[in-house]
Structure formats: structure tokens, C-alpha cells
Amino acid sequence: MALWGGRFKEQASAQFKKFNDSLPVDYRMAVQDIVGSMAWAQALTTVDVLSQAELDQLLQALTELKESVEQNPKQILLSDAEDIHSWVEGALIEKTGDLGKKLHTGRSRNDQVATDLKLWCKETGGEILLALVNLQQALMNLAEREKGTVLPGYTHLQRAQPVTFGHWCLAYVEMFNRDIGRLKDALYRADTSPLGSGALAGTAYPIDRDLLAQNLGFRKATLNSLDAVSDRDHVIELLSAASVSMMHLSRFAEDLIFYNSGEAGFVEMSDLVSSGSSLMPQKKNPDACELIRGKAGRVTGSLTGMLMTMKALPLAYNKDMQEDKEGLFDALDTWHECLEMAVLVADGLKVNRNRTLAAAQQGYANATELADYLVSKDIPFREAHHIVGEVVLAAIDKGCPLEDLTLTQLQEFSDKIEQDVYQHLSIESTLDKREVLGGTSRGQVEKAIASIQSGNDEILNEQVVGAPGKQQIKVALKQVKQRLDAQRAAAISVRRARMSDVDKIYQQVDYWADKGEILPRSRDNIIHDIQNFVVAEIAGEVVGCASLYIYQTGLAEIRSIVVDEKAHGQGQGQAMVQYLLDFAHQIELQKIIVLTYVPDFFTKLGFNLIDKNSLADNIIEDSEPSPHKNPDDEVAMEYLVGGY
């Protein structure tokens, strides 16, 4: 079924149809297209295009279609539909007749595909976020197991200074932590809904796009219809994040390929991730790591291709953009698969501790320790560096390590060297001295593991309570009808407060302060702080307020969140907090805190519990507990803005 044709006298050629159709690629967005259609049907009901009975019939048909697609997505490929949008519409018409033809009212394939793709990106990005955390966890498990294992560190592929194998693991944990940050930032910017932008100029129907965005699980609607339908920054950003992460995976793989070689012999890979030779029976090849290394180029190629596709496109939508999905789908599939394979590699890795220790003891890796020893004897470092270079030459001539030179032999180079030098030249001493933050000492490795574990727990909590991903779409699908019914009569509008709002804000704050729910604030205080307030309106009437108090660069507190009793249960409190969180992201705050008696409300918005005693004294003093409440019931919570 084609969604166009009235303008044409002749049918498109079979050759063009094959060239033009995108169903073999975009069929993967079937669920997202159905979810978007359900939300659009609800939106059309609010502007009287559809009746409640028609809406119920469409929702039932779309739900059945969604369940069928989830059970057997490949059924779509049996169709000759042009794309996933025409397939869904055709299947809906089969179920509902002419009613199905009404669903596309006010909507274009341009805003439809942009919405579908963003929903897909959010879901897939959430899954990859978990895969990154899983790989970090596997590496931390390996680091814990091998935190005391000595490993030669390298620069220029020459032995440099000894490190621990655990420290090596944590270097990649840090890389993947930056990948997590990049992915979360990309998903944050992708979390805006284009639906309702039409072909390029916006829909002619008075759809509440903010409510529509909320029903689909987006944090807000896009602000410009031209940009909304032609923006593919989210595709490029995800491909960029994937390319950087694949580069890290490739470095990880290359290190292990070298460590696994017969020349090094530091590690042996599990049989589960290795293959053999068809000719040489003794071979055990590190194919998993070699494939990870090779696939990095494939992902980077997708990024380059997308950049070239977009670099000279005029506004607004152009058919060139149909090329966005194939490379994106392949790249993110590849990224995800490589992350999971890397977990298998790390989980099954065997480390030859005797071999790594022997290698670390060779190559004069303790030369820097001898130089530092001479510095402690009041010899300038540059001179000490020269002296140790001469000592190394002598040790090479004698074919022995530095610590095997006698005291007499060492004193030929400097009379500052004494018997205590040998305690500084041991591997243990070399490692233990690196106790500085980020160092390779066993103590620092243990601290780093504990710190990273705490951060990963926060990421996993975010996935449960609101990070972009599959769960959001499922929740949005279940709640879309209930939310619309509850908010149909009152569209929420949140804005920055004005001086004309002072009396209403004071009235609301005073009312709830008398009830002991919040701390009181004077009218003068509200006047002086009005620029930090937001208000929620229904039909032009202010029904709630909240404020953001900035303590210092990067830190702020949300205060004075109140909503009129008559407006409770309609989402104004959540909308105001979300508005302040969005504003915090715009002005580059890093952390938002609250002191609250209702932690469940903030948990749903992505806040996590913290120890109240960890807050600075001035914060506690500014936010002393209400005299009407039990102080023990007040808890502290924090929200990390933009992945900081």
C-alpha cells in the first residue's frame, strides 16, 4: 500500500520501487511506529478528529498489531509495502476499515519517521548503556582477582615501569566510563519528540505537543518544525559515541592479542572465544579480539558515511535521509555485540602471574626508582637521570638487573648510594610507592574498584527509574491513555515566574508552610528570589510553584515545591521539577539536591538517596527540618545532571 499516488498517472517502475522502498531496513521500527500511532490517535481525540469510541477501536487494533509484531517481526518482510509506516497503516486498515485511514490526519511521514527513529535510538541506547556497565563490571571483577598481579607497563611498546594487572583493567574501565557519559549525553539530546511537526511546517491541528511528547516518554517536544523533521544529529551523535567506544574496544583487544602471543605469554584466552587452525593443530587463535579490532573500522565507516550524507542537505526533509538507518542499525548492533563479546573475553581470561612478574623484572623497569632514590639524596633529578642511565648501561654489559649489582659497583657511579638502596629497587617497593590518586598501588586499585562500583550502581538505578530505554517505552505505552484522560481538561504549562506572580506564590507557600509541609518564606524573600522560581498554570491560573537555589558552581537545591490542593494528581509537581532539571542542564549545573519527606516522588524523577550527613553544613542550616515533622523522616537525595 502506497501512502501517495493521486498526483501520478502511471505506476512507479519495479526497478524504482526496489530502489526506493525501505521496508527491508526500517521494519525494525515497527513497534516504535505503532507506539507513536497510539499516542497520535489519542492526540487526535483531544482535538475532536476522533471520537472516544473510534479511539478505543484504534487502540485495540494497534495493541493487537503490536503484540503480533513482537511475536514475529519477520512477517513484515513478506509485504510489498514501501516502508514500515505504510505497512502499519495498511495492517490497521485491514483491521478497522475506513477508520484506519483517519489516523494519518495532521501527520506526515517526515515527523513520523523522525519520531520512530528517536524512540528506537532511546530504547537501543538504553540497552547499550547496560552493556557498557556489564563490561565495566567484568573488568572490575578481573581487576579484583588480579589486583596484586605484577604486569610490565609499556610506552612505545617498550617495557617502562611495573604496574598491576588490576590497574591495567581499570584503565579500560575509565575509557568505558567516558563512553557511558557520551552515550548518556547523546540520549539526553535525542529525548525530544518531533511528532506534530508535520511535513515541515507543523500540524494544522491544535495538538498539545508537550503532552504528546510526555505520553511517548520524551522529556519535551522539539521547538522548530523545520529542524525537527530534518535533524539527524542524534544519529550522528550515537554513531560518534559508538565509534569512540569501538576504538576503546579495539585497543583493549589489541593489548590482549599481544599479551596472548607466544612471545609475551602473559594471558591465555578461554576456549569459548578462541578458534583453531585448519592446518596447524597446535594453534589457538584470539579470533574474538581480532574481530572486535576489525569491526571498529566498520562502525567508524558508518559515522563517516552519515556525516557525508548530511553535510550539504538543504532544509527540510530530503530522501537522502533514508540512508540514516541502515548504517545506524548495523553500527549499534555491532557495538552491542562487541561489548557482550568483550565480557566473555574478560570473564574467561587466565593470567600467567609468573610470566608477567618475570617480564616486569626485566627491562630495568625499576630505573626510575633508582633515580628517585638519588633525588632523595639531594641530587637534582636531571643529574640523577644521567647517573642511572650509566648504571643501566653497566647492568646491560653484565647481563644482570639493577638490583643484582653490588653496592660497590653502584657506588662507582655515585657515592650517595648506600645499603638502603636495595629496598627501593624491589618490585613491591616500586608498586607501593604509587599510592597517589590514580596510581597503580594495590591500595589505589582497591579504592578505584569501590568508587567505580558505586557509580555503576547509580547508572543501573537510573535505568530503572527513568533512563532512556525499552522500559520507558513500555511504561509510556501502558500509561498513555490514563495520562491523557487525567490531563485532558487541563494542559500543564510551566514557565519562569514573574513579579506579578509574587502574591500567588506567597499565598501558596504560606498555606503549605502552615501545614508543616515546607519551610515558610517571607514575601520579601520571594520578591528577591523571584528569578529562581517557576510556576505551573492551568487555563492561565497559577496552581503551583517551585524554586532552584544555587549554592555554588555545579550545585543547586530544589525548594518550595507546592501545588494547590484542587490541582493535585495532575502532574504539575513533576512538570515543574522536570522544568528545573532541564534548566539545570542548560546552565551546566552538575548536581541537584533535595531534602524531602516524600522520596518516592523524586525517585520517579531520577533522584537517588544519599547520606544527609554528607551535605555541607550551610545546606543543612539553610534547610532545617519542619517543626511539624519528625526530623528522622527527612531524607537527602541527589540528581546528577547530564551524566556528571
Q: Which residues are catalytic?
A: 156, 277
Distance CA 280, CA 529 (A): 77
CB 100 within 8 Å of CB 86 = no
Which triple of cell numbers denotes residue 464? 530503572
3-state secondary structure of 390: helix
One DSSP character per residue, 19-62 reads: HH--HHHHGGGHHHHHHHHHHHHHHHHHTTSS-HHHHHHHHHHH
Collapse the DSSP code of 192 into the 3-class scheme (helix H, G, I; strand E, B; otherwise coil) and give the result.
strand
Q: Which of 152, 150, 162 is nearest to 369 (CA)?
A: 162
User: Are 59 and 481 in contact, with CB atoms under 8 Å apart?
Assistant: yes
> How many whole angstroms separate alpha carbon 536 and alpha carbon 114?
30
Distance CA 642, CA 644 (A): 6
> 148-171 burial, b for 16+ CB within 10 Å, e for fewer?
ebbbbbeeeeebbbbbbbbbbbbb
Tell me the DSSP string of 583-619: HHHHTT--EEEEEES-HHHHHTTT-EEE-GGGS-HHH
* Rg of the chain taking only CA atoms, in angstroms: 31
Q: Is the dihedral of CA 517, 520, 523, 525 positive or negative?
A: negative
- Grid cell listed for 642: 547530564
User: Distance between CA 145 and CA 142 in Å, rounded?
Assistant: 5
What's the one-letter identity of residue 60? Q
Q: How many CB atoms lie within 10 A of CB 216?
A: 26
Inter-residue contact 61 to 37 (CB < 8 Å):
no
Q: Is 355 left (phi over 0), alpha (psi -120 to 50) or beta?
A: alpha
Q: What residue type is 605 in one-letter code? A: L
State the maximum Cα–Cα separation within the chain, in Å, rounded to a whole number.
101
Output b/e per residue, 511-549; b: 16+ Cβ within 10 A.
Answer: ebbeeebbbebeeeebeebbebbbbbbbeeebbbbbbbb
Cα gap 337→292, rounded to integer Å: 9
Using CA atoms, how far residue 575 sits from 422, 478, 579, in Å, is: 66, 20, 6
Q: How far apart are CA 270 and CA 288, in angstroms?
A: 10
Find the helix or strand (DSSP H, E) in which 550 lies. strand 541-552
In this structure, the number of other CB atoms found within 10 A of the CB of residue 7 comes to: 5
